[in-house]
Amino acid sequence: MAAAKYSLWTVPKLKAELSIKGAVITGRKADLIDRLVAYDRNHNFKPPIIEIPEAIDIEWPKHGYKQPIADHRLVFSKVTREQIDGYFLFRLAGDKQVNGDIKALEKGRDLLQAKKILACSVLILVDGIFLSGIVGAAMKKQVSYNYHIKLDKSGSPVNSKCECPAGKGPNATCKHVAAVLLMANIFSNTGEISIQKSCTEGLQTFQQPKTYYNGVPVKIEKTC
């Protein structure tokens, strides 16, 4: 046993071993031995190593997308908040280029509430579910970004990219991708989809008069 092995060591040797592990070296010999045994039992208290699979870019489909309809709730019903959180935490653990945007999910929720998702289309294929559309920038009204997201049949995100600086690569974890995934999750639960209406969906107003005349009608004068 480890305790029996360490009991044969001298106090200076025990302290030297603890110092290598970055542990406290004060206390009686029994305390030093217990501390070393605890470090051995817990693998020096190091966090588990997370192995990130190599990000493989895919060929994004260009045709066949449709506007989300009520039937798509069955498709999105598998998109859970746990899967979304897991995807972001998983990618943030290995993609150093996005480590600075740890609050992407929180910022994505703000974009969703501000109705910054301008468009979203769905394409269901044998190898997965594809989302494509546009999300507006948080601060600049005239700026927007195209996004692409792939979900597997279980609803888990497997690929994503966005035109924004943080969305490069085949596994983007930017706030724009977060907003779309959170929208899909809400849509699966409530049937509500937070997407800005297009100009053709609203009531036509550009040909309506801006002012109205409330006076007495004027008679037409004779010209001959």
Give the range with max mean pLDDT: 27-31, 52-56, 85-89. Answer: 27-31
Is the confidence at residue 45, as pLDDT, over 80?
A: no
Is the confidence at residue 179, as pLDDT, over 90?
A: yes
Which segments within 12-156 are labelled E, that is strand?
Answer: 117-125, 128-136, 144-151
Cα–Cα distance measured from residue 12 to residue 200, given in angstroms and rounded to the nearest whole number: 80
Is the confidence at residue 87, as pLDDT, over 70?
A: yes
- Name 144's Cβ contacts closer than 8 Å, sequence gap at least 6: 118, 134, 135, 136, 137
What share of the chain in percent tops pLDDT 90? 14
Is the confidence at residue 9, as pLDDT, over 60?
A: yes
Mean pLDDT confidence for 151-159:
84
Reported as a pLDDT band with limits 50, 70 and 90, residue 145 is: very high
Cα–Cα distance measured from residue 222 to residue 69, given in angstroms and rounded to the nearest whole number: 60
Is the confidence at residue 195, as pLDDT, over 90?
A: no
Mean pLDDT confidence for 148-167:
86
Is the confidence at residue 66, as pLDDT, over 80?
A: yes
Contact 148, 60 (CB under 8 A): yes
Mean pLDDT confidence for 15-30:
88
Strand partners, 160: 149, 171
170: number of Cβ within 10 Å? 16
DSSP state of 50: P
Cα–Cα distance measured from residue 93 to residue 102, given in angstroms and rounded to the nearest whole number: 10
Contact 88, 104 (CB under 8 A): yes
Cα–Cα distance measured from residue 115 to residue 174, given in angstroms and rounded to the nearest whole number: 17
Report the pLDDT value the prediction gives residue 223, as an integer from 0 to 100: 53
pTM: 0.60
What share of the chain in percent tops pLDDT 70? 73
Average pLDDT value over all residues in the chain: 77
Report the pLDDT value the prediction gives residue 43, as an integer from 0 to 100: 73
Reported as a pLDDT band with limits 50, 70 and 90, residue 100 is: very low
73: number of Cβ within 10 Å? 16
Can you read off the two tokens belonging to residue 206?
């550009």
Report the pLDDT value the prediction gives residue 56, as an integer from 0 to 100: 63
Q: Report the candidate in 40, 50, 178 with the shortest Cα–Cα distance to residue 104.
A: 178
Reported as a pLDDT band with limits 50, 70 and 90, residue 193 is: confident
Helix (H, G, I), strand (E, B) or coil at 4: helix
Cα–Cα distance measured from residue 68 to residue 60, given in angstroms and rounded to the nearest whole number: 18
Report the pLDDT value the prediction gives residue 1, as an integer from 0 to 100: 63
Report the pLDDT value the prediction gives residue 137, as an integer from 0 to 100: 87
Report the pLDDT value the prediction gives residue 131, as an integer from 0 to 100: 92
Give the range with max mean pLDDT: 40-54, 71-85, 146-160. Answer: 146-160
